[in-house]
Structure 1
Amino acid sequence: MLVFVYGTLTEPERVERLLGNGPGAYEFRGDAVLEGFHRVDGRYPTLVPGGHVEGRLLAVDDSALERLDRYEGVDRGLYARVSVPDMEQRSVQVYVGDPARLGLERDASWPDAPSFRVAVRTALERSNAVLRRTE
């Protein structure tokens, strides 16, 4: 499975500390750009609708993906993991942090929704977000 990373997980040393000494295989697969969202920084980096963000592709197996979910706080609602298509219409996973949980004011460009996860999915659909490899 491919994961688009744009913050701390673009650092090979951090990924090695997180995934290298336990179950789960991973490999960096080059640079990419996510169109339709841009990075903002709070306590941790996250994405908001509009623009684009540069990052890297990380290939992981199911065990490594579970470890990434724990690292990103998916079970605590800190980040939501969503799927974005790449240019070949393959699904790439992306973590999007809840601005309110990361010390940012909730950006007015997020759609009104019953939950942050639903707002992210709605924004993805409206933006026609796509991931483009740059290598």
Structure 2
Amino acid sequence: MQETFFAYGTLTDPATADAVLTEFEYAGAATLVGMAVDESGEHPTLVPGGRTEGRLLHTAEVESLDEYEGVARGLYRRVSVPLDREGDGDVQVYVGDPVMLGVDGVAWPGTGPLRERVERYVDEEDVRVV
């Protein structure tokens, strides 16, 4: 089953996506409202506030993307963000751990594991992809 992802970094480049995935398709430009890119760490990540330009990517190869993003190592978490478009639904977004990536001065609000704090932020701040 295909999933939709919001790509905002290296996966916006077709050559990178082609190296990671065997089958994928881009579905046009998109904007993530409520999170901005911070490139001050080892790898780019999303932080609270702002907007991020990117692309929608469709693929069934979720495990390959999780491996590329270092989910098992704790570098990134995959979270669902509402999509304000055709058919609506959710888009998968990778959010990096600021501590693991060496991003200073970024703190997701609340307490608990990073994934839970990001998910709460998405709900409370009306984060969405348009």
| TM-score > 0.5 by shorter chain | yes
1:43-100 CA distances to partner (integer Å, 9 max, x unpaired)? 1111011111000000001xx1110001111111110000001114311100000011
Q: Which runs of 4+ in 1 moved over 4 A?
A: none
Q: Please report how far the alpha carbon of residue 106 of structure 1 lies from its aligned counterpart in structure 2 after TM superposition.
A: 4.7
Structure 1 counterpart of 2:125, one-letter code: S
Cα distance in 1, alignment partners of residues 110 and 80 from structure 2:
20
What does residue 124 of structure 1 align with? 122
1:74 aligns with 2:76: no
1:3 counterpart (2, 5, 14): 5
What does residue 99 of structure 1 align with? 98
> Residues 119, 106 of structure 1: CA spacing in aligned structure 2 closer, same or farther, 3 A cutoff?
farther
Q: Please report how far the alpha carbon of residue 105 of structure 1 lies from its aligned counterpart in structure 2 after TM superposition.
A: 1.7
What does residue 36 of structure 1 align with? 34
Q: Please report how far the alpha carbon of residue 112 of structure 1 lies from its aligned counterpart in structure 2 after TM superposition.
A: 2.4
What does residue 20 of structure 2 align with? 18
How many residue pairs end up in the alignment? 125
Q: Please report how far the alpha carbon of residue 115 of structure 1 lies from its aligned counterpart in structure 2 after TM superposition.
A: 1.0
Q: Following superposition of structure 1 onto structure 2, how do residues 59-70 of structure 1 map, counting pairs within 5 Å?
A: 59-61=58-60, 64-70=61-67
What are structure 2's unaligned runs of at least 5 residues?
none
Find the residue that maps to 2:68 and give its secondary structure. Answer: helix
Cα distance in 2, alignment partners of residues 65 and 59 from structure 1:
10
Q: Please report how far the alpha carbon of residue 2 of structure 1 lies from its aligned counterpart in structure 2 after TM superposition.
A: 0.4
RMSD (Å) for aligned C-alpha atoms: 1.1
Find the residue that maps to 1:76 and give its secondary structure. Answer: coil
Structure with higher helix content: 1
Find the residue that maps to 2:103 and give its secondary structure. Answer: coil
Find the residue that maps to 2:18 and give its secondary structure. Answer: helix
Structure 2 counterpart of 1:92, one-letter code: V
